[in-house]
Structure 1
């Protein structure tokens, strides 16, 4: 182990003078993170839908909709609620953009609900705010669906007795509202793109360790190194330790810079350390396995670049491919980038170290399989 550490230390001193490593490890990802934060920093931030309500009925069913459905949704922070006194007032607020949608509860609404007559909650939406209108429609649909369910239950149990319907509407269980915002389960756009660039360039950063072995073989220094009382395993371990060390330091510095400069929140530090280490091991092993079966340093670099770009694109470094759904969401899971970014999103949403163990385990599996292939390739090359 001491020999491997000495080899890693020697290579690290040499790489510090290599501007290419500095560019891939820090300058490019940090620079692109800054650009993406400027471009996407405000995208995806949630804003509450501004909803108005006009209660022209003032009956039990109307009050129930306002107080037991809309108010809890407002308390969750999903919407901002405003009471208006007339339809004209509400429609003017919608037209001016002060409201994204307006609920109009017509006169006679409660009587119609209790008697089983046809009625409706009218929604006046702003054409410029289709999302807010959709939110209002979803809320109203949930309530009317509940009323329909009560009516069916009354019809089956009490033969459609209007008094039973009135009692059911007055005492039925309110609609439960639980808000899980998108920011709770995914990184905001600016942070997502910055994290995507960090893991994308990680694969270029860690390639210097395994590629260094090929460089030394081509330069003839590997033969002199092996002539000393140094095992091939120690040499390979030293090169891979360099990759792991540089990868961890690079990711740590990038995440610290993003937190300070862009306000990125990475969540549980223990879980973050676990995911970062697993991700670096996976990247190192994959790049080493490519180098192990390459004929030379240049060929290895070309193949590593192709693999890094393909896996980065599939895994969502440039765009959250998994959100496309269907086949693409499944294909993206073959990339370690997907599991790395998904684990970061979970941590940002409040997940603990235990919660991200599955994602870290998948990354560790990538590292184990690719690492085994790398060892086999280097041993085969040594025996050739």
Structure 2
């Protein structure tokens, strides 16, 4: 343990002597957050963002008392701004439209829907989602508004009898449908908050690059052999170096959060513990990825080029640079570390969709564990390369 501590301390001392590294890890993120947050603040007004309406195909076999209220709901002006409904004649036609991306989702309403509602029995419809995640979320929220109304009608029938349906006026819940809140709540963040979260993740990933370059330079310069003169094993030397980068990354994370909070006025919210876990998982993933790249490429320049390109691409695809990326690009972004890490941080910061934030965090933990396992599996090869 003492040997690992000495190697880690020496690694930290070497890194802190490199002005270019300190500039990239500490000054650049703070500068980018300020520039992007100031220059693009006008794009973060929720009222200025007008999303494309979601498209829903409806196959309605029900001709009972609930058909008219549903049609009135879909015909409401506020709903029509957000949802375009197309009536289809069969379930096969609905599925074909979904496959051709002509609609974002499909709804099948059985013939017994109204009958079950009026009798107080269990009733349900079936929703088929397409590939557009955000559009599906929008449709589900709108349908939930109507099912809440139907549930109230059903409750009245169960308590007062079938005659209650006739005197129970449909509750107009469309006034509760606000366009901004139906979209991803991350759009409610200020520009400074948004880029503070996304740039934090991006530069935590960049910090792993120093680990990859350091490991590769040890191989090129054969300096690890000098370390072996001392009573330090190769495994201890590698672990000490990676821990040194991890400690530096945690310091970097703390500096960015505290500085943006005090100077830029960024509110990091009440979930600081969860944000700390996200940062730790990102650091573990970054260092593990660095160790893997150190094996795959033979030179430090190649590692630096590939790693920096990879982080930049992941940040772009996840919306870290351009906020309102298209739906297809957003789908691709789900295969990046930034999507899960930055998405979780921003939701915790804003205290919105916290259930989604926790799900993002669980996925991030899984990615970090998988990358760490991969790095451990090839660690013997890393050791061999340095001997």
Regarding TM over 0.5, the answer is yes
Q: Which residue of 1 aligns with 2:37?
A: 37
Residues in 1 aligned to 2:242 and 2:296: alpha-carbon distance in whole angstroms: 16
Q: 1:283 to 1:227 in 2, by over 3 A?
A: same
Q: Which residue of 1 aligns with 2:105?
A: none
Counting matched residue pairs gives: 271
Q: Which residue of 2 aligns with 1:300?
A: 303
Deviations along 1:102-136, whole A, 9 cap, x unmatched? xxxxxxxxxxxxxxxxxxxxxxxxxxxxxxxxxxx
Equivalent runs, 1:105-254 vs 2, <5 Å: 173-175=171-173, 177=176, 181=181, 184-186=185-187, 187-254=189-256
Residues in 2 aligned to 1:315 and 1:27: alpha-carbon distance in whole angstroms: 23
Structure 1 position 271 matched with structure 2 position 274:
yes
Residues in 2 aligned to 1:22 and 1:252: alpha-carbon distance in whole angstroms: 14
Q: 1:6 to 1:357 in 2, by over 3 A?
A: farther
Query: Which ranges of structure 2 fall in alignment gaps of 5 or more residues?
Result: 49-144, 154-161
Residues in 2 aligned to 1:183 and 1:306: alpha-carbon distance in whole angstroms: 28
How far did 1:42 drift?
4.0
What TM-score comes out, normalization by structure 1 length?
A: 0.62
Contact 2:211 2:290 in 1 (8 A): no
How far did 1:41 drift?
2.7
Q: 1:353 to 1:271 in 2, by over 3 A?
A: farther
Q: Which residue of 2 aligns with 1:26?
A: 26
Comparing 199-208 with 30-39, greater Cα deviation is found at 199-208
How far did 1:47 drift?
5.8
Query: Which ranges of structure 1 fall in alignment gaps of 5 or more residues?
Result: 49-141, 151-156, 159-163
Q: Which residue of 2 aligns with 1:315?
A: 318
How far did 1:195 drift?
2.6
Residues in 2 aligned to 1:293 and 1:202: alpha-carbon distance in whole angstroms: 22
How far did 1:200 drift?
1.9
Deviations along 1:215-248, whole A, 9 cap, x unmatched? 2232232012124332222122112112211112
Q: Which residue of 2 aligns with 1:113?
A: none
Residues in 2 aligned to 1:18 and 1:363: alpha-carbon distance in whole angstroms: 31
Q: Which residue of 2 aligns with 1:291?
A: 294
Residues in 1 aligned to 2:355 and 2:235: alpha-carbon distance in whole angstroms: 34
Q: 1:363 to 1:6 in 2, by over 3 A?
A: farther
Contact 1:290 1:300 in 2 (8 A): yes
Q: Which has the larger radius of gyration?
A: 1
Q: 1:304 to 1:274 in 2, by over 3 A?
A: same
